[in-house]
Amino acid sequence: MTLLIFLLLLANSGAAVSLTGYFWHITDVHWDPDYKVTDNPWAVCPSASEPVRNPGKWGSYLCDSPWALINSSIYAMKDIFPNPNFIIWTGDDTPHIPNEKLSDEAVLRMIGNVSQLIQHVFPDTKVYAAMGNHDIHPKSQFPATGHVIYNRTAELWTHWLDGRSIPTFLKGAFYTEKLPNREGQRMIILNTNFYYNRNALTADLSDPAGQFQWFEDVLSRALTAGEKVYIIGHIPPGFFEKKRGTHWFQEHFNKRYLEIIQKHSQVIAGQFFGHQHRDSFKIFYSNNGSPVSAMFIAPAVTPWKTTLAGLQDGSQNPGIRLFEYNTDTLQILDMVTYYLNLTFANIQAPRWVKEYRLTEAFQVPDGTAESMQTVLDKLSWDKCHLQKYYEYNSVSYDLGECNDQCRTDHICAIKEVDYTRYKNCIKSGGSSKMNEMCLLLCFSMLSLSILVFAYS
């Protein structure tokens, strides 16, 4: 009997392990092919908006990525977890330079070089790739009627694209495919650059390229078929936590996106975006206020310092992200962010290390919408967790204090995707008070640890 129980436990353990899958998320590599190490602070990189002093081989916090950094990030993924179930790649491959310094051919060359690198390092891995607002020329101007860059990018991604994805990709760089070797699981890849408030080509349209209607149709069919879906894209809806009032979507597009997620939340297992160069998340709620979907916003590979006016500490360390998920339900089980301390890399050598694991850092069981609501609750009242999240937000670059205004900006950006509700949240200061006692407790525990170390 004892042997039988042992065998049953062993079998159950094996079954549990088999339900765990992994996928990488990489975004915003922003390759600057003209980056060079030189003593001339004005000649290091065209992507910088100020003089660059003491640049290193692996990059500068003022510049977009040199090829060495991009190469290092992809090989780090291979070294850390070499056999993921798939990879999601959410765009932005060209540097932050004026349009006149780029062209269709230059953009395609950069997309092609990064694509070839990923294919070389992960030759047998399915990649779901979305285009970023910097992956067209002129930047952000994605037309709703097709484009030569859509056509040529589809050719570059032939290795990854299912033939049935081509028509919608050629129409507007969006598509949907089933997850590899699984039934009832689907990836939806959106071109949210259509909705960007800097895209003059689509501002007056109600549904550019019919993507919203297509999106709803795919979700409706997923419900009928009993499927679960992941949604990926480049530009997220809602607001940017680092600068109050900054949003990316035109308001009517933001409203439509939010309505679609609320309506079809029962089939959506996760949303994954980039663009912000920051590590953050957003929560979507039902009409009765229950959390129904979580959106994970991954940090960038580029360390580039943003030029958004008035934003302090606009740089970040390069980051990549590994998700753990249930291969039966697509439920997010955990998330680990790895990063490269750029200062250390330039002094010593590049070293990609674990920055944090979601379940450990915030003491939650998984990455479901309910668990991410728990994380948000902790950020709202616990200054220790808020400070930890704030440092992760810049991938351990900005280690300053997140004060009351900072707290309000982050809390409201996470919980209010709707524009009116966000403005009301800002006015109310995030609606809840911070527990200052936790900060005292943090310092007390730190002091105790120092004493114990000193006398051990």
Instruction: Note whether 413 and 423 are within 8 A (CB).
Output: no
The answer on pLDDT for 404 being more than 50 is yes
Asked whether residue 249 is assigned to any structural domain, the reply reads: yes
Asked whether residue 1 is assigned to any structural domain, the reply reads: no
Is residue 444 very low, low, confident or very high in pLDDT (cuts 50, 70, 90)?
A: very low
- Both structure tokens of 113: 């070089």
Number of Cβ atoms within 10 Å of the Cβ of 34: 16
The answer on pLDDT for 327 being more than 60 is yes
CA nearest neighbour of 355 among 400, 306, 395, 309: 395
pLDDT digits (tens, 9 = 90+) for 335-357: 999 999 999 999 999 999 999 99
Asked whether residue 9 is assigned to any structural domain, the reply reads: no
Q: What is the pLDDT of residue 312?
A: 72
Asked whether residue 2 is assigned to any structural domain, the reply reads: no
The C-alpha atoms of residue 324 and residue 335 are separated, in whole angstroms, by 6
- Find the distance separating the first CA and the last CA of the chain, reported in whole Å: 49
Q: What is the pLDDT of residue 449?
A: 43
Asked whether residue 12 is assigned to any structural domain, the reply reads: no
Give the residue numbers spanning the domain of 371: 19-455
Asked whether residue 294 is assigned to any structural domain, the reply reads: yes
The answer on pLDDT for 15 being more than 80 is no
- Both structure tokens of 80: 């850390």
**Mean pLDDT of the region 247-275:** 98
Instruction: Note whether 298 and 90 are within 8 A (CB).
Output: yes
Is residue 18 very low, low, confident or very high in pLDDT (cuts 50, 70, 90)?
A: low
The answer on pLDDT for 455 being more than 80 is no
The answer on pLDDT for 437 being more than 80 is no
pLDDT digits (tens, 9 = 90+) for 144-202: 999 999 999 999 999 999 999 999 999 999 999 999 888 899 999 999 999 999 999 99
Strands 268-273 vs 291-297: parallel, antiparallel or unpaired = parallel
The answer on pLDDT for 94 being more than 60 is yes
Asked whether residue 4 is assigned to any structural domain, the reply reads: no
Q: Percent of the chain, pLDDT > 70?
A: 90
The C-alpha atoms of residue 295 and residue 103 are separated, in whole angstroms, by 33
Instruction: Note whether 358 and 324 are within 8 A (CB).
Output: no
pLDDT digits (tens, 9 = 90+) for 240-251: 999 999 999 999
The answer on pLDDT for 443 being more than 70 is no
Q: What is the pLDDT of residue 25?
A: 98
The answer on pLDDT for 438 being more than 80 is no
Structural domain count, the chain: 1
Instruction: Note whether 261 and 293 are within 8 A (CB).
Output: yes
Instruction: Note whether 33 and 67 are within 8 A (CB).
Output: yes
Average predicted confidence (pLDDT) for the chain:
92
Ordered DSSP codes for 3-50? HHHHHHHHHHHHHHHHTEEEEEEE----B-TT----S-TTSS-TT-SS
Single pTM value for the model: 0.91
Nearby residues of 39 by Cβ (< 8 Å), 6 or more positions away: none
Is residue 434 very low, low, confident or very high in pLDDT (cuts 50, 70, 90)?
A: very low
Is residue 454 very low, low, confident or very high in pLDDT (cuts 50, 70, 90)?
A: very low
- Greater confidence (306 vs 63) lies with 63
Q: How many residues can be counted in the chain?
A: 456
DSSP H stretches of helix in 264-403? 342-347, 358-362, 369-381, 383-393
- Both structure tokens of 75: 């090989």
Helices vs. strands in the chain: H and E counts, helices first: 14, 12
Place of tokens 């390759």: 31
- Both structure tokens of 437: 């006692």
Residue 359's domain is classified under what CATH number? 3.60.21.10
Burial class (CB in 10 A: 0-12, 13-18, 19+), 210: middle
Lateral strand order in the sheet of 127-129: 127-129, 86-89, 20-26, 319-326, 332-340, 352-357
Which of 38-42, 264-268, 312-316 comes out lowest in average pLDDT? 312-316
Instruction: Note whether 107 and 173 are within 8 A (CB).
Output: no
Lateral strand order in the sheet of 291-297: 175-178, 185-189, 228-232, 268-273, 291-297, 280-285
Is residue 309 very low, low, confident or very high in pLDDT (cuts 50, 70, 90)?
A: low
The answer on pLDDT for 415 being more than 60 is yes
Q: What is the pLDDT of residue 433?
A: 42
Asked whether residue 56 is assigned to any structural domain, the reply reads: yes
pLDDT digits (tens, 9 = 90+) for 101-113: 999 999 999 999 9
CA atoms within 13 A on the CB side of 330: 25
